[in-house]
Structure 1
Amino acid sequence: MLVMLLVFVAVVIHRGVDARLRLEDAAHQAARAASVERTSATATAAAQSTAAGALSSAGVTCMSLNVDTDTSGMQSGGTVSVTVSCTVDFGDALLLGVPGWKLLSTTAVEPVDTWRSISGNTSGGGS
């Protein structure tokens, strides 16, 4: 019985660590997708769809998913920041005293290419 309990604990811990790693990867992919867009609106949409797709492909199911894209630095040589928050269901681990859910959140920052133009930018940079 003790061995079964230890295995169950290990599985729950692994699920939490795995979800965190996959969330960090999704945030990185979303920030990269946003950084190559030309407008704030398309950057925000790209980040949202990329994060959702990356988590879905990785097998992470979020009870709620929030993708917050900061495009205030979206200029040549600037940065784009994406924060991905996912509420992960741990309902099957209630017997161990683990809460039924846990909010995981991570932020990734990607540079905007110095040598390209941004919509609305009149500096005449390359495309």
Structure 2
Amino acid sequence: MAAEVTLVTPFLIMLLVFVAVVIHRGVDARLRVNDAAHQAARAASIERTSPRAVAAAQSTAASALASAGVTCQSLAVDTATGGMTPGGTVTVTISCTVDFGDALILGVPGQKRLSATASEPIDTWRSVTVNTTGSST
């Protein structure tokens, strides 16, 4: 009995370590996607127009995930600007398919779709540009 326990114990420990690594990678990727959504929403809320806000959210999300080491097989960034009105909100939803292919030794699925949503307020006292006719835009 002692011989079997001695032989099986290292394999059980290795299995637990592999499971812990896979769980850690999943939690870490989810946290980084959440952080990227917050960064993208903040970047979008600073912009003055909806098209620029959408572009800022897209580029900020991509660069935040890349710098965090998260490789998305497909990245979708949906930005709801609500017209960029002062006092409104900008909401950004990021969906990222993360590859866990190198963890397949444990039978973990090769990829998982993670998503996160973040909202940021638009400054109530933001300045409004005035065109040449004198009306605000």
The reply to whether TM is greater than 0.5 is yes
Q: Write the distance in 2 (CA, Å) between the matches of 1:6 and 1:75.
A: 52
Quote the residue 1:14 is aligned against.
24
Structure 2: state its 5+ residue gaps: 1-10
Larger Rg: 2
Note if contact 2:50-2:83 (Cα within 8 Å) is conserved in structure 1. Answer: no
Verify: 1:84 aligned to 2:94, yes or no: yes
Deviation at 1:95, TM superposition (A): 3.1
1:3 aligns with 2:13: yes
Contact 1:75 1:118 in 2 (8 A): no
Matched residue, 1:30:
40
Letter in 1 for 2:41: A
Question: Where is the helix percentage greater, Structure 1 or Structure 2?
Answer: 2
Taking structure 1 as reference, are residues 39 and 109 closer, same or farther at Cα in structure 2, changes over 3 Å only?
Answer: same
The residue type paired with residue 39 of structure 1 is T
Identity of aligned residues (%): 76
Q: Is the 8 A contact 2:129 2:136 kept in 1?
A: no
Once the two structures are superposed, residues 65-113 of structure 1 have per-residue CA deviations (whole angstroms, 9 ceiling, x without a partner) of 1111001252100000000111000112223232110000000000000
Cα pair distance change 1:108/1:117, threshold 3 Å: same
Q: Which segments of 5 or more consecutive residues in structure 1 lack a partner in the other structure?
A: none
After TM superposition, the runs of 4+ consecutive aligned structure 1 residues lying more than 3 A away are: 117-120
Counterpart Cα distance in 2 of 1:29 and 1:69: 12
For this pair of structures, how many residues does the alignment match?
Answer: 124
